[in-house]
Amino acid sequence: MLRYLSTRLVRALLTICFVVTFAFVILRLSGDPALLILSPDAPPEAIEAFRKSWGLDRPVWEQYVRYFGAIAEGNLGRSMRDGRPALDLVLERVPATLALTIPALILKLVIGIPAGIYAALHRNKLADRMTMLFSVAGFTVPSFVLGLVLVLIFSVNLGWLPSGGQDSWIHGILPVITLGTAGAAVLARFTRSAMLEVLGQPYIRTASAKGLAWHRVVVDHALPNAAIPTVTIVGFMVGSLVAGAVVVESVFSWPGVGRLLVVAVANRDLAVVQTILLFVAATMVCANLTVDMLYGWIDPRLRTRRVAGAG
């Protein structure tokens, strides 16, 4: 178990290094950072001073090492627009995003998982077909279309709910529903196929052949096994809590991290973009690590299996 966890930890660190390298490489490939961050018509002395202070006059490998050092110290640069540290800008937007994505995650879990299990247990019945129809719709209707149609119905035509902003919890209803419905559809589809896969296994037939009541077969044998793949996708959803609302925040003018990212990309505010990229990578890696630990708990085979085979 310890070896299993330590390989996962090394892999997590490697992923973080990979993201940092990715940011470094595209930052260097995109042109001279001095010209990008200052403007091309800045005085030559200012550009020279900037290069020196950022170490841009050093060889590439030294820049790379310094870049790692700066990030390890939490020095992610300043926003081009108002000169504040990029990390502060990002951190102060996190609560607003979580205020949308956590209720949406609960909505996804509460609708998606029971719907998927129910559909799998009633395969090819009406309930199953309705669930699949809903899940296909959830997959093919982009969130900005769903959001705008909800605004058109509930804000413009009926006048029941506000169409954007963040003044009260009522403003959060439409964005949470938009986010939650699409995710619930994905989760329902995923849970259903995981359940169907498990229900087709020989041990399920054995369990019901030995006379076990069907609900016991489902609760004791099918659900724990179907939980393994489902945990992976839920982990991905938890990992994208911070960045999962880019489009929806833009539709509803919700001042979260996603909205900040879109504005920063449009203005090419590189320090902020880079900070969000690393922040998202860190949350994804933490979520994946948690999922890996949960695996060890849900699936006893992983605790005893040799690391070489764990892949």
Residues lying near other proteins in the complex (CB under 8 A): 11, 14-15, 18-19, 23, 26-27, 29-30, 136-137, 139-145, 148-149, 151-152, 156, 193, 197, 239-240, 243-244, 246-247, 250-251, 261-262, 264-266, 268-270, 273-274, 276-277, 280-281, 284-285, 288
**Lookup: tokens for 214:** 């069907």
**DSSP letter (8 states) at residue 78:** B
What are the backbone dihedrals phi and psi of residue 231, each rounded to the nearest 5 degrees, phi first? Answer: -60, -35
Task: Compute the distance between CA of residue 116 and CA of residue 54 in angstroms, rounded to an integer.
Answer: 53
Smallest gap from Cβ 57 to other proteins, in A, equals: 21
Residue with tokens 């959060």: 172
Smallest gap from Cβ 18 to other proteins, in A, equals: 5
Smallest gap from Cβ 246 to other proteins, in A, equals: 6
* Distant-in-sequence, close-in-space partners of 236: CB < 8 Å, separation ≥ 6: 284, 287
Task: Compute the distance between CA of residue 44 and CA of residue 63 in angstroms, rounded to an integer.
Answer: 21
Task: Compute the distance between CA of residue 165 and CA of residue 254 in angstroms, rounded to an integer.
Answer: 5
**DSSP letter (8 states) at residue 141:** S
Task: Compute the distance between CA of residue 235 and CA of residue 294 in angstroms, rounded to an integer.
Answer: 10
Helix (H, G, I), strand (E, B) or coil at 85: strand
Single out the residue of 138, 144, 167, 103 nearest to residue 250, CA to CA: 144
**Lookup: tokens for 252:** 């509803």
Smallest gap from Cβ 257 to other proteins, in A, equals: 10
Task: Compute the distance between CA of residue 213 and CA of residue 211 in angstroms, rounded to an integer.
Answer: 6
Task: Compute the distance between CA of residue 74 and CA of residue 279 in angstroms, rounded to an integer.
Answer: 11
Residues 289 and 7 sit within 8 Å (Cβ to Cβ): no
Residues 191 and 120 sit within 8 Å (Cβ to Cβ): yes
Task: Compute the distance between CA of residue 105 and CA of residue 125 in angstroms, rounded to an integer.
Answer: 28
* Distant-in-sequence, close-in-space partners of 180: CB < 8 Å, separation ≥ 6: 103, 104, 105, 106, 107, 108, 111
